[in-house]
Structure 1
Amino acid sequence: MRAVAIDFETANEQRASACSIGLAWIEDGRVTDRETHLIRPPEMRFAPVNIRIHGITPDMVEDAPEFPDVLASLRERIDGCDMVLAHNAGFDMSVVRASCDTYALSYPEFDYLCTVKVAQKVWRDLGTARLNALGDHLGIAFKHHDAGEDAFVCAEIALEAMRLNQVANLHELARATQVGVGRMNATGYSACSAPRVARPRNGTAPSAFSDVYRPVPGMPRSMDGKRVVFSGQLTRFSRNEAQEIAGRFGARVMGSVTAKTDLVVVGNGAGSKLDRARHLGLKLLSEADFLDLITVKS
């Protein structure tokens, strides 16, 4: 069995803004090599919150190759893999697709498996499939949000899941855990899927960014007392995650737009809520505006 675990870090909220890729290569049931490559994004715009997460700054990637060159250097080895792994594969695969679309490249061809979905089946009692929680559970010390180290932990999660399920390869692991293998090819992609897993009642899995978007104790909260409505789909958060984070910063999250609404955060595909907000003359925020409000300035 030959496989690779990958992990991307991005410069901003755009999926085509990859600034780093990490890879952990697997052969014969163990990680045999690890590597990290910096990437110069097409638009050199680095959001402060992203820098805070991964520590990569514009000057570090100024002379780095762009995505097409990085992909070309890796493509032959990736094409030879039985499986590509990613922790939260929906994000990493969208980075690949968006970057290929930006540079008018054909998509690479491979099967892929999401280790979040696998972990939710294998370690149900943990109540979370976050990478750092799984790393702690498996006794792996690593620097979270370093692409190479995150890829390594992703690989180890898959290997441990194989051992626990007593299977010989990753396709068998997918079948044992009832996780549908995703596929990317030159004409498109199909998503990695799995039946919904019920979470324990005593808690829910926090967002991957829950430890980043928090107000500073003792400082005024940026959305204190504001009635906030979300409309449309955000690129960085699910609706529930965005509402949870807004609440931490003091917002009163509302389900519908009224004359008393203070702010309406507008994402892709915003519909009747946006129309009503415009009719009422309410203040509209883009996703970037929302990120500015919840980013603690140093």
Structure 2
Amino acid sequence: MKVVAIDFETANETRSSPCSIGLAWIEDGAVASVDHHYIRPWDMRFAPFNIAFHGIGPRHVQDADEFPAVLDRLRGDLDGALVLAHNAAFDVSVIRRTCEHYGISPPAFDYLCTVQVARLAWPDLPSHKLNVVGRHLGVDFKHHDAAGDAYACGKVALAAAMEHGANRIHDLPSRLGLTLGRLDRDSYAPSQAPRLPKRPVRPPPRLLPPGAEQRLAGRTVVFTGQLDTMSRGEAQGLAAAMSARVVLSMSRKVDLVIAGPGAGAKLRTAEAMGVQVMREEEWLALVAH
């Protein structure tokens, strides 16, 4: 069975807006080749947050094919393959929702989520985001670049297979107790992983610099999306340590939203209300200042 790792980038918050796909083919225990295709979104609506996240805008895709034509070129690679993706629920949903939008059949394949793989293979890592796992494994790649992320995803699966004595990536599910997901032309089944015991709650491992204790005093803060450099719980703990009032939902009392990749409704509400939005780079600068 063919093995190919994939990664999508989207133009906006909807799953039916792919603007880029990266693929990495795995053969004989190595990443054999990597490919990339720009995709022209059907409505060419690019959200500023997504552009800032992956750097792709209208000028990159103005001459690209829309999704049906790109899928036609790739269908032979995906049909019948074992597809890998880091946070596969997202990438598979991009295929499903975009195929639904265009009224076309999706490819049929089994898939394996390398986030689930990484959590089971290296449970002591502080996070299992692709950049964190890649750094742990010494994988050099450009994060949030579809081809780079697909390459890193393949390397994660290969490293986990080696770690657990699996001769092939196909053997990983049985070694780790995972159940493969499945996408068919008329059905979908999510991948499943065994439940891990909860870690004990620990104070944030990062030490605040002197004088930071009052940096967010009087501010009411919401976090949305996933930060690349720390867990949501760690970020909330740091904000509380800087005297912020951390809340979980938007209201008129919120005056600062810290938005990471995947931010959705809370970010849109904040922008509509004129609430200050801080991106991850600004948040890290605030913490370290």
Shift of 1:262: 3.4
Equivalent residue, structure 2, for 1:6: 6
Q: Which runs of 5+ in 2 are unaligned?
A: 205-211, 255-264, 283-289
Distance in 2 (alpha carbons) for counterparts of 1:57 and 1:6: 20
TM-score by length of 1: 0.73
Moved over 6 A (4+): none
Equivalent residue, structure 1, for 2:131: 132
Shift of 1:295: 5.1
Equivalent residue, structure 2, for 1:144: 143
- Give the letter for the 1:138 counterpart: L
Shift of 1:136: 1.1
TM-score by length of 2: 0.76
The 1:153/1:255 distance shift into structure 2, 3 A limit, reads closer
Superposed, which structure 2 residues align to 1:168-207 within 5 Å? 168-198=167-197, 200-201=199-200
Distance in 2 (alpha carbons) for counterparts of 1:192 and 1:53: 27
Distance in 2 (alpha carbons) for counterparts of 1:109 and 1:204: 45
The 1:133/1:2 distance shift into structure 2, 3 A limit, reads same
Shift of 1:199: 5.5
Contact 1:24 1:31 in 2 (8 A): yes
Shift of 1:40: 0.7
SS at match of 2:124: helix
1:290 and 2:262 correspond? no
Aligned-residue identity in percent: 44
Q: CA RMSD in A?
A: 3.6
Distance in 1 (alpha carbons) for counterparts of 2:252 and 2:70: 46
Contact 1:7 1:148 in 2 (8 A): yes
Contact 1:107 1:188 in 2 (8 A): no
Shift of 1:107: 1.9
Shift of 1:256: 8.8
Shift of 1:55: 0.7
How many residue pairs match? The answer is 255
Moved more, 187-196 or 146-155: 187-196
Match for residue 262 of structure 1 among 249, 253, 277 = 253
Superposed, which structure 2 residues align to 1:70-149 within 5 Å? 70-81=70-81, 83-149=82-148
- Give the letter for the 2:196 counterpart: V
Distance in 2 (alpha carbons) for counterparts of 1:130 and 1:256: 24
Contact 1:127 1:199 in 2 (8 A): no
Distance in 1 (alpha carbons) for counterparts of 2:177 and 2:200: 23
